[in-house]
Amino acid sequence: MHSTALLFFTSPLALALTLPPRAEPCDAARQWTIPNVDYSSQITYSTPAHMATSRASIEFTYTSSTNSETSSCTGYSTGQQDSGAFFAFPNPTGCTEAPGSATVSTFSYTGPTKNLNINETFTCEGNTYLAAASTQLALQCKETVYNNPNWTTPGDIYSAKTVACEPLSVILTPHIFKLG
């Protein structure tokens, strides 16, 4: 009688019900939610030969499921004559972290492949970790070309190429690496 009762109260089930919930391990699986990737570009000419502006931007935030912190990331690319030539090479760029956050995030975007790469380093229980995710963005974009039918004056817009994309949401599952 007595030994049966003892077994019951020390069973794993009883322990699970009485102990406080355990903190998540440092390398716990997590998701990064990106509600909106915003990509656009503009190229304008003020004469047939003079490019007046040439600029593309990619902008997004992502929120981690482990700590609900949001990082804000923005990248620019300039100086291209073709809409498809922006962000020719990956260029690691820092993101802005949530106030008081101990994480450091960088991202890179490669235009020709539409590849987005995000790295986040963080410390946990005295160790440094890297969470890294990479994806090909399924951006649906439209290029609009405008030619001024009646251009005479340098300073007026001679022509413009504008790219605008549908809002895109993405969920990433980063791989976690212990760096030391």
Ligand X SMILES: *[C@@H]1O[C@H](CO)[C@@H](O)[C@H](O)[C@H]1NC(C)=O
Please say whether the beta carbons of 81 and 54 come within 8 A: yes
Q: How far is the CB of 109 from ligand X (least distance, A)?
A: 9
Residues 29-48 that bind ligand X (CB under 6 A): none
Shortest distance (Å) from residue 55 CB to ligand X: 21
Task: State the burial class of residue 136 (Cβ atoms within 10 Å of its Cβ: 0-12, 13-18, 19+).
Answer: exposed
Shortest gap between Cβ of 122 and ligand X (angstroms)? 14
Distance between first and last Cα of the chain: 52
Contact 119, 166 (CB under 8 A): no
Closest distance to ligand X from the beta carbon of 116 (Å):
9
User: Which of 34, 27, 92, 102 has its CA nearest to residue 66?
Assistant: 27
Phi then psi dihedrals of residue 157, to 5 deg: -75, 125
Applying CB under 6 A, the site for ligand X has a residue count of 9
Tokens of 158: 């001679």
126-155 footprint of ligand X as x/- string (CB under 6 A):
------x----------------xx-----
> Interface residues for ligand X in 66-125 (CB under 6 A)?
92, 106-108, 117, 119
Kindly state the smallest distance separating residue 149's Cβ from ligand X, in Å: 5
Q: Among residues 10 and 150, whose Cβ is nearest to ligand X?
A: 150
Q: Which amino acid is at 30?
A: R
CB closer to ligand X out of 71 and 108? 108
The binding site for ligand X (CB under 6 A) comprises 92, 106-108, 117, 119, 132, 149-150
